Structure 1
Amino acid sequence: MYMPSIFGTYFFDDFMNDSVNETEKTLYGKHAAHLMSTDLKETADGYELYIDLPGFKKEEISAHLKKGYLTVAAQKGLEKDEEAKNGKYLHQERYTGSMKRSYYVGEGLTEEDIHAKYENGILTVKIPKVENRVSEQKKYISIEG
Structure 2
Amino acid sequence: MSEKKKEPQLPDVIKKSYNDFLKSIDSFFYDAFQNIHNNGMFHSQIPVQTYETDSAFIIEAQLPGVKKEQIILDVYQSHVKIGVKQEEFMEEKNEVDKYVKQQFSSQVKERVIPLPFPVTQKDVKAKYQNGLLTIKVPNRRHVIDIE
TM-score between the two structures when normalised by the length of structure 2: 0.54
How many residues align structurally? 96
Q: Deviation string for 1:7-58 (max 9, x for gaps)? A: xxxxxxxxxxxxxxxxx752597xx44x311111222211211101122211
- Bigger Rg, structure 1 or 2: 2
Q: 1:126 to 1:25 in 2, by over 3 A?
A: farther
Q: Distance in 1 between the 2:141 and 2:123 partners?
A: 12
Extract unaligned runs of 5+ from structure 1: 1-23, 86-94, 133-145
State whether residues 36 and 101 of structure 1, in contact with CA within 8 Å, keep that contact through their aligned partners in structure 2.
Answer: yes
2:62 matched to 1:52?
A: yes
Q: Distance in 1 between the 2:130 and 2:121 partners?
A: 23
Using the TM superposition, name which of 38-47 and 95-104 deviates more: 95-104
Q: Distance in 2 between the 1:112 and 1:65 partners?
A: 9
Structure possessing the higher relative contact order (Cα contacts under 8 Å, 6 or more residues apart): 1
Instruction: After TM superposition, give the deviation of residue 79 of structure 1 in Å.
Output: 2.9
Q: Deviation string for 1:106-139 (max 9, x for gaps)? A: 453111111111111111111111259xxxxxxx
Extract unaligned runs of 5+ from structure 2: 1-36, 94-104, 143-147
Identity across the alignment (%): 23
1:1-145 matched pairs, under 5 angstroms: 26-27=39-40, 32-33=43-44, 35-81=45-91, 84=92, 97-106=107-116, 108-130=118-140
Q: Distance in 2 between the 1:105 and 1:25 partners?
A: 30
Q: Please provide the CA RMSD for this pair.
A: 3.0
User: Match of 1:68, as an amino acid?
Assistant: S
User: Match of 1:26, as an amino acid?
Assistant: N
Instruction: Write out the 4+ residue segments of structure 1 that deviate beyond 3 Å after TM superposition.
Output: none
Q: Distance in 1 between the 2:64 and 2:40 partners?
A: 16
SS at match of 1:39: strand
Q: Distance in 1 between the 2:38 and 2:114 partners?
A: 23
Q: Distance in 1 between the 2:128 and 2:65 partners?
A: 11
